[in-house]
Amino acid sequence: MGVSFGVAADTAQECAEGLALLALLRQFGVEVTVTLLPAQVGGHRWIARAVPMTQAPAVGEGLTVER
């Protein structure tokens, strides 16, 4: 099963802003592609989806966690 990212929001603008935050994954070598633009699913509910196009580094590779 592949990985996908979902965004749920109250407005289309908030949903788009949530998708924009996924661009931060580029810092870790992961590019994402939007597969579902913000869409209203009922009432005041909006959703969007994206999937990674590149693989994230393996655990312990490329990421440094300071404690």
At 13-42, the pLDDT tens digits run 999 999 889 888 888 888 888 899 999 998
> Model pTM?
0.67
Handedness of CA 42, 53, 58, 63 (dihedral sign): negative
Which tokens hold the place of 11? 């407005």
- For residue 1, the model assigns a pLDDT of 43
Report whether pLDDT(46) > 60: yes
Q: Which residue has the higher pLDDT, 49 or 67?
A: 49
User: Which stretches of the chain are assigned E, i.e. beta strand?
Assistant: 5-9, 32-42, 45-52
